[in-house]
């Protein structure tokens, strides 16, 4: 259930670029909370009835729409905006896709893939028979306006936040964002129902939903990039049955990450009978990439952690 708030921003109030010349759709005082309606990452181009053949037809300029911006009264450049994630509304459906020319292993996965999800259970979602993914909603894209003029693509992460895809920005998290322009001009979008650290195929469980956020202002406190405080354990419900881990070596972090994911895909194919595309998609929504070795330059090691608890 969403908490009471005097403000709701509907999803038709959205934009597809960071731009500090945009007019705010709402002004709030520090201490107030706002309920945001958020589009799925396709911007409404996909539906529960969509199929893989619809993926190449996507208008990429409409991806990751952001609800906002919100003007926070008193916010000035050099301040820090605290955003507390208070709650999420119920989710009904979502999607995970492999898009051509996108993702960690894009050279090896050139054909489109799409899985649509039933999220009505609110606790878990079925990937395949015997594979259940815990639902842990969070916003993939969240931030303040950039100081540089003009439009800036919402797809990458930036110093203002942006498309960070940090799956630990769950309920109870306090996110600290640098304020670069008057009023901060805060926006949020790209909500996910679940994701692994790395989002390796390029998508999570992308889902439209509501998110309620409370704003607080730290005057004169300056940070250069986002920071956050989590409310408790990072992986509740996942650690109890342990992990299957594949490691990947490389002479740069990207090569090491690719190798660890390739080996995980092989494991999922051989052990659980998944197709390569299914194994790649499952790695994106359930597998966590971790830097295990970075000091022995130029020799790096990335580990891919697969929670055993998702297999029933």
Go through 28-38 and write b for each residue having 16 or more CB atoms within 10 A of its CB, e for each that does not. Answer: bebebbbbbbb
Backbone angles phi and psi of 161, in degrees to 5: 115, -100
Q: Write 22-25 long-range contacts (CB < 8 A, 24+).
A: 22/69, 22/145, 22/185, 24/68, 24/69, 24/70, 24/71, 24/183, 24/185, 25/68, 25/69, 25/70
CA atoms of 137 and 190, how far apart (whole Å)? 11
With a cut of 60, say whether residue 1 has pLDDT above it.
no
Question: In the chain, what are the domains?
Answer: 8-229 (2.60.120.580), 243-310 (3.10.28.20)
Residue pLDDT, tens place only, 55-89: 999 999 999 999 999 999 999 999 999 999 999 99
Residue pLDDT, tens place only, 10-58: 989 999 999 999 999 999 999 999 999 999 999 999 999 999 999 999 9
A 10 A CB-CB count for 155 gives 16
How far are the Cα atoms of 136, 230, 234, 303 from residue 123, in angstroms, in the given order?
8, 20, 17, 27
Taking all residues of the chain, what is their mean pLDDT, rounded to a whole number?
96
**Percent of residues, the chain, with pLDDT higher than 70:** 99
Residue pLDDT, tens place only, 119-148: 998 899 999 999 999 999 999 999 999 999
For the chain, state the CA radius of gyration.
19
Per-residue pLDDT, 90: 87
Q: What is the mean pLDDT of residues 188-194?
A: 97
Dihedral Cα 128, 56, 122, 2, nearest 10 deg = 170
Asked if residue 283 lies in contact with residue 304, where contact means CB atoms within 8 angstroms, the answer is: yes
The length of the chain is 312
Per-residue pLDDT, 2: 55
Per-residue pLDDT, 28: 97
Residue pLDDT, tens place only, 174-189: 999 999 999 999 999 9
Q: What is the mean pLDDT of residues 281-286?
A: 98
The closest alpha carbon to 95, from 60, 138, 52, belongs to: 52
A 10 A CB-CB count for 294 gives 12
- Indicate the angle between helix axes 253-272 and 276-286, nearest 10 degrees: 120
Q: Would you place residue 237 in the very low, low, confident or very high pLDDT band (cuts 50, 70, 90)? A: confident
CA atoms of 65 and 289, how far apart (whole Å)? 27
Per-residue pLDDT, 236: 86
Per-residue pLDDT, 122: 85
CA atoms of 246 and 159, how far apart (whole Å)? 31
Collapsing DSSP to helix, strand or coil, 309 comes out as: helix
Q: Would you place residue 3 in the very low, low, confident or very high pLDDT band (cuts 50, 70, 90)? A: low
For 116, the token pair is 């649509």
Per-residue pLDDT, 4: 64
CA atoms of 185 and 199, how far apart (whole Å)? 27
Residue pLDDT, tens place only, 96-115: 999 988 999 999 999 999 99
* Pairing assessment for the beta strands 33-38 and 8-9 based on DSSP bridges: parallel
CA atoms of 62 and 149, how far apart (whole Å)? 21
A 10 A CB-CB count for 312 gives 9
């Amino acid at each position: 259930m969403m908490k009471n708030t005097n403000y709701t921003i509907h999803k038709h109030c959205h934009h597809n670029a960071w731009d500090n010349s945009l007019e705010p759709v709402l002004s709030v005082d520090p201490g107030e909370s706002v309920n945001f309606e958020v589009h799925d990452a396709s911007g409404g181009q996909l539906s529960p009835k969509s199929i893989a053949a619809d993926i190449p037809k996507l208008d990429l300029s409409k991806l990751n729409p952001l609800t906002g911006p919100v003007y926070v009264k008193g916010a000035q450049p050099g301040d820090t905006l605290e955003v507390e994630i208070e709650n999420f509304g119920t989710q009904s459906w979502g999607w995970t896709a492999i898009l051509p020319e996108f993702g960690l292993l894009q050279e090896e996965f050139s054909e489109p893939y799409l899985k649509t999800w039933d999220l009505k259970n609110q606790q878990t979602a079925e990937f395949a028979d015997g594979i259940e993914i815990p639902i842990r909603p969070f916003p993939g894209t969240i931030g303040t306006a950039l100081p540089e003029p003009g439009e800036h693509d919402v797809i990458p992460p930036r110093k203002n936040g942006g498309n960070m895809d940090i799956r630990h920005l769950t309920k109870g998290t306090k996110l600290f964002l640098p304020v670069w322009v008057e009023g901060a001009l805060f926006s949020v979008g790209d909500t996910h129902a679940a994701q692994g650290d790395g989002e390796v195929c390029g998508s999570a469980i992308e889902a439209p939903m509501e998110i309620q956020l409370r704003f607080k202002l730290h005057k004169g406190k300056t940070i250069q990039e986002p920071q956050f405080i989590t409310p408790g354990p990072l992986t509740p419900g996942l650690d109890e049955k342990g992990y299957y881990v594949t490691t990947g070596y490389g002479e740069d972090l990207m090569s090491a990450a690719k190798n660890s994911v390739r080996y995980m895909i092989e494991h999922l194919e051989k052990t659980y009978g998944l197709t390569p595309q299914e194994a790649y998609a499952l790695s994106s929504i359930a597998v966590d990439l971790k830097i295990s070795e970075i000091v022995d330059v130029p020799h790096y090691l990335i580990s891919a952690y697969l929670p055993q608890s998702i297999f029933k």
